[in-house]
């Protein structure tokens, strides 16, 4: 039995970025249940209970965590059954693509006492408005951090030997795909996009280890995140060209760049890191040999200064996300007191019976 944990959406320098739609493919799934309802109606609890039932039956489980509050779930997947439960509310709003035939809505909001909520309408509106402000503030700080990170990347780019990078991509492909180069695989499902690491209300959250069990782990070592991403993108493209499915783990601040790469068929995790000493790797691809060390020493002070400001912006963003979570918890109290959880439990039992 295997557990994997990740995020399908992230708090990034571009705001909230969602890859939920790469998971919700009704043509591939047996069943997709899209949960609706306000905060506190029990969507996360519903999914956690669902996962617990099938975990008890020895099945692999994939947990999709909320990037604002990683203790809360945004989705649960049972790969063997091809069943997905997912939170379809904002900011990752989802609706059925093949209603009834593959996916359907489970509206837990139908079990709310709306008359009780109307009595607290003013407070609910005020909390929602303040929460929205805090999220926008957090994203402004993440945007600032993103700009500083780009400045640091540009400093590394100036002292990176691009011709050596091109050669390294060829060497890495030969290392990662020693047998795959000689044959073409049956076409798989393409690529999945996700985050295994994220900026959350609890700080920086890292679930990458949940993908490493039983896999060959190849470390890509280097400080230049753009070169690292460029290498991983090239390896992903090669894998897809020979028919392999890839799981692209995006950088939490830069969702258009790759942080790690998983190739399930080869049982390989290609994991980036700043230093080799930080993790146990089976093999290492050293990106640092692409740098002009003399020039790096000359600009190291500026890189360090920008790194300190970067860290300060991240800390401020996390503080805002934490404050927003506290408001969300206040909001939940109004909905919890208005919710018929007995009806939600009966809905849960019906879903379990249909999936068994």
pLDDT per residue as tens digits for the range 333-351: 999 999 999 999 999 999 9
Residue 193 in tokens: 């996009």
In 10 A of CB 184, how many CB atoms?
11
H or E segment to which residue 121 belongs: helix 121-158
Prior bond of 10 cis (ω within 30°) = no
Residues 16 and 94 in one domain: yes
Q: Is this structure's pTM higher than 0.85?
A: yes
Contacts of 26 (CB under 8 A, 6+ apart): 32, 96, 97, 98, 101, 102, 103
Residues 283 and 181 in one domain: yes
Question: For the chain, where are the E strands, in sequence order?
Answer: 3-7, 9-12, 15-18, 31-36, 61-65, 73-78, 83-87, 103-107, 191-194, 197-200, 203-206, 216-221, 246-250, 258-263, 268-273, 283-286
Q: Which residues of 319-341 are buried (b: 16+ CB within 10 A; e: fewer)?
A: bbbbbbbebbeebbebbeebbee
Q: Which residues pair with 194 in a beta bridge?
A: 249
For strands 216-221 and 268-273, give the pairing. Answer: parallel
What is the per-residue pLDDT for 83? 95
DSSP 140-190: HHHHHHHHHHHHHHHHHHHTB-HHHHHHHHHHHHHHH-TTGGGS-PPP---
- The rounded distance, in Å, linking the Cα atoms of 284 and 228 is 13
What is the per-residue pLDDT for 278? 64
What is the per-residue pLDDT for 189? 63
**Does residue 98 lie in a domain region?**
yes
Of 275, 291, 307, the one marking the end of a domain is 291
**Does residue 306 lie in a domain region?**
no
**Does residue 308 lie in a domain region?**
no
Residues 173 and 281 in one domain: yes
In 10 A of CB 91, how many CB atoms?
14
**Does residue 119 lie in a domain region?**
no
Residues 184 and 263 in one domain: yes
- The rounded distance, in Å, linking the Cα atoms of 249 and 232 is 10
**Does residue 38 lie in a domain region?**
yes
For the chain, 356 residues long, the average pLDDT of each consecutive 10-residue run is: 93 96 78 95 98 97 96 96 94 88 93 95 97 98 98 97 96 85 63 96 97 94 96 96 93 98 95 84 94 95 98 98 98 97 97 92
What single DSSP character describes residue 53? H
Nearest to 2 by CA among 206, 215, 199: 215
What is the per-residue pLDDT for 258? 98
Residue 61 in tokens: 């489980």
Contacts of 305 (CB under 8 A, 6+ apart): none
| Number of helices (H), then strands (E), in the chain | 7, 16
What is the per-residue pLDDT for 311? 98
Q: For the chain, what is the domain count? A: 2
**Does residue 154 lie in a domain region?**
no
Residues 103 and 214 in one domain: no
Residues 197 and 278 in one domain: yes
Structural domain boundaries enclosing 192: 160-291
What is the per-residue pLDDT for 356? 81
Residues 9 and 96 in one domain: yes
- 73-83: pLDDT as tens digits: 999 999 999 99
**Does residue 331 lie in a domain region?**
no
What is the per-residue pLDDT for 187? 66
Q: Which residues pair with 5 in a beta bridge?
A: 63
Residues 286 and 171 in one domain: yes
Residues 287 and 166 in one domain: yes
First to last CA, the chain: 18
């Amino acid at each position: 039995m295997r557990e994997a944990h990740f995020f399908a959406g992230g708090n990034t320098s571009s705001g909230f970025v969602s890859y939920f739609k790469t998971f919700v493919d009704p043509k591939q799934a047996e069943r997709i249940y899209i949960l609706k309802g306000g905060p506190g109606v029990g969507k996360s609890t519903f999914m956690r209970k669902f996962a617990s039932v099938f975990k008890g039956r020895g099945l692999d489980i994939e947990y999709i965590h909320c990037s604002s509050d990683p203790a809360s779930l945004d989705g649960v997947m049972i790969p063997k059954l091809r069943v997905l439960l997912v939170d379809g509310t904002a900011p990752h709003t989802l609706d059925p693509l093949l209603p009834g035939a593959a996916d359907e809505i489970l509206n837990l909001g139908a079990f709310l006492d709306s008359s009780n909520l109307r009595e607290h309408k003013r407070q609910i509106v005020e909390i929602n408005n303040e929460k929205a402000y805090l999220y926008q503030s957090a994203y402004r700080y993440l945007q600032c951090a993103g700009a500083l990170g780009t400045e640091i990347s540009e400093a590394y780019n100036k002292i990176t030997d691009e011709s050596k990078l091109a050669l390294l991509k060829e060497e890495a492909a030969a290392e990662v795909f020693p047998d795959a180069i000689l044959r073409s695989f049956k076409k798989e499902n393409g690529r999945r996009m996700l985050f295994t690491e994220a900026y959350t209300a609890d700080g920086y959250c890292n679930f990458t280890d949940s993908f490493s069990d039983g896999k060959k782990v190849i470390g890509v070592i280097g400080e230049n995140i753009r070169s690292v991403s460029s290498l991983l993108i090239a390896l992903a493209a090669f894998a897809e060209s020979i028919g392999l499915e890839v799981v692209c783990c995006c950088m939490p601040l830069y969702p258009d760049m790759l942080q790690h790469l998983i190739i399930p068929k080869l049982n390989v995790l290609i994991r980036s890191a700043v230093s080799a000493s930080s993790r146990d790797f089976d093999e290492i691809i050293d990106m640092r040999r692409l740098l002009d060390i003399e020039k790096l020493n000359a600009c190291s002070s500026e890189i360090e200064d920008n790194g300190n400001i970067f860290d300060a912006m991240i800390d401020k963003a996390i503080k805002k996300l934490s404050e927003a979570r506290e408001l969300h918890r206040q909001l939940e109290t109004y909905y919890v007191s208005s919710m018929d959880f007995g009806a939600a439990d009966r809905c849960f039992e019906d879903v379990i019976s249909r999936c068994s």
